[in-house]
Amino acid sequence: MEKYLEGLKNCNLCEWKCGVNRLEGETGVCGIGKPKIATAALHPAPPQSYTIFLCGCNFKCLGCQNWTIAHYPKTETRSLGFIAPEKMAEEAVEQLNSSRGNFISADRIFFSGGSPTPSLPYIEKIVEEARKIQQVKVNYDTNGFMTHDSLKRILHFVSSITFDIKAFSEEIHRSLTGAPSGPVLRNAKYVAENALNQLWEFRYMLIPEINEEDVKPLAKFFAEINPHIPLNFLAFRPNFVLEKYKGATQEKMEMAVKTAKDTGLKNVDWSGQVGLKGKISEVKALEYTKQGARLAGGIAKEHGCITHPRNCGICDLKLSCPIKSHTAARTT
C-alpha cells in the first residue's frame, strides 16, 4: 500500500469525519475507497489549466453540474481508475508545455470533481511529483466542506482556490446538498481572512427561487470581512435531479450582482448561460421554514431522500441513496 494513502485508514478528510478505513472496503458519505481519476485534459476556462477531475463527492447536490463524475462508485466504469501519481504528474506537465497548452495559456494543474477533498493525499502526491519536474502552479476547486486541518494542508500547496458556496443559510444549504453550511462558511472566512492572495474567486450558482434569498446575507458576510473579496455568480444550468427545473434569467443574474454590490462588495460579476427552459417545482417540504429550502427539500423528498432537514451524515442509505443513484438525461 502506498504510504501517502495511509490516512485513508481512518478517514477524517472532510467535515463528515466518517473515521472509516477506506483501504479495507469501508465507505463513508462520499463512498470512495482509493482515489480514482474520472478524466484529465487541457481546459480553456479561466484559470486555463490541465484539469484533473477526481471521482466522487461528499455532497449530494440536487443540481449537480458534474453528476457523471461525482456519483462514484456508480460511475466508476467510466473512470480512468487509479493512475500512479508520478505518471499523472508527468502527463500534466507535458500537456501544460504542449503547443495546445501554450495556445490556451494553460499555466496550472486544476483539481476538480466531484469534490477533490476525499482524494487530498493523492493530490498532494501528484503535486509533489509534478514540482520535481517543474515548478507548476496548482488550483484547487472546492465545495468548502473540508476539515480545518485539510484546509491548511491545501493552502500549503495551492497557487489558487476556486471556492463554491451552494447557499448561505443552514436550511437551504442542507436542502440542496444534504450537508450543513457552517463548516463551509468557517472555511470561506478563513480563506478570506488569511489567504486572499490564493483565492481565485468565490462562486455561487444561482438557482431561481431556491437560493436567491441567500445572496444578500452571503454578500454581507463577505463585505464585512473585506469588500474586495471576488464573488462570481454562476447561472444555474438545469441538470441532475433538477434537470427539469428552470435556468436563471439574465435579469436574476444582474439582480444578484446588484444585491451583492449594495452590501459594499466591489468585485462582483456573473457568468454562464441564461434563460434555459424549465419549470419551478410546486412540491414543498414543510419541515423547512425558508421558501427556497421548502422547494429544494420537496424535490429531494419527491426523489426519495429520507432525512429532512437533509443530513447525509446520519442517513442509513449511504451507497443506496436514491439521490446518488439518480440518472438524468443530460450527461454533461
State the binding string over 230-249 for ligand SF4 (x if CB under 6 A, else -). Answer: --------------------
Cα 29 from Cα 71, distance rounded (Å): 11
Taking contact as CB under 6 A, which single stretch among the options 22-30, 64-72, 210-218, 239-247 is the one that binds ligand SF4?
Answer: 22-30
| Residue that the C-alpha cell 453528476 belongs to | 67
Q: Which of 265, 266, 280 is nearest to 212 (CA)?
A: 280
| Residue that the C-alpha cell 480545518 belongs to | 148
Q: Which lies closer to ligand SF4 via its Cβ, residue 107 or residue 243?
A: 243
Rule CB under 6 A: say whether 5 interacts with ligand SF4: no
Taking contact as CB under 6 A, which single stretch among the options 18-26, 163-171, 258-266, 276-284 is the one that binds ligand SF4?
Answer: 18-26
Tell me which long-range contacts 158-161 makes (C-beta under 8 A, separation of at least 24).
158/198, 159/108, 159/198, 160/47, 160/108, 160/198, 160/199, 160/200, 161/191, 161/195, 161/198, 161/199, 161/200
CB 151 within 8 A of CB 189: no
CB 133, min distance to ligand SF4, A: 28
Q: What are phi and psi of 37, to 5 degrees?
A: -95, 130
Of 35, 101, 118, 183, the one binding ligand SF4 (CB under 6 A) is: 118
CB 144, min distance to ligand SF4, A: 13
Cα 130 from Cα 83, distance rounded (Å): 14
Both ends of the chain: CA-CA distance in Å?
34
Of 5, 7, 9, 17, the one binding ligand SF4 (CB under 6 A) is: 17
Rule CB under 6 A: say whether 20 interacts with ligand SF4: yes
Q: Which lies closer to ligand SF4 via its Cβ, residue 55 or residue 268?
A: 55
The sheet carrying 160-164 orders its strands as 37-43, 49-54, 108-112, 137-142, 160-164, 199-206, 231-235, 268-271
Q: What are phi and psi of 268, to 5 degrees?
A: -125, 140
Cα 52 from Cα 293, distance rounded (Å): 32
Residue nearest to ligand SF4 (CB): 28
Q: Which lies closer to ligand SF4 via its Cβ, residue 57 or residue 215?
A: 57
Cα 115 from Cα 101, distance rounded (Å): 24
Rule CB under 6 A: say whether 71 interacts with ligand SF4: no
Q: Which lies closer to ligand SF4 via its Cβ, residue 60 or residue 294?
A: 60
CB 253 within 8 A of CB 268: no
Q: Which lies closer to ligand SF4 via its Cβ, residue 62 or residue 106?
A: 62
Rule CB under 6 A: say whether 136 interacts with ligand SF4: no
Which residues inside 170-229 make contact with ligand SF4, applying CB under 6 A? 178
Taking contact as CB under 6 A, which single stretch among the options 130-138, 164-172, 217-225, 305-313 is the one that binds ligand SF4?
Answer: 305-313
Of 5, 255, 306, 328, the one binding ligand SF4 (CB under 6 A) is: 306
CB 15 within 8 A of CB 147: yes
CB 145, min distance to ligand SF4, A: 8
Single-letter amino acid, residue 271 = S
CB 17, min distance to ligand SF4, A: 5
Which residues inside 29-48 make contact with ligand SF4, applying CB under 6 A? 29-30, 32
Of 1, 18, 276, 299, the one binding ligand SF4 (CB under 6 A) is: 18
User: H or E segment at 175?
Assistant: helix 170-177
CB 7, min distance to ligand SF4, A: 9
Residues that bind ligand SF4 (CB under 6 A): 11-14, 16-18, 20, 22, 28-30, 32, 58, 60, 118, 178, 305-307, 310-312, 315, 317, 321-324
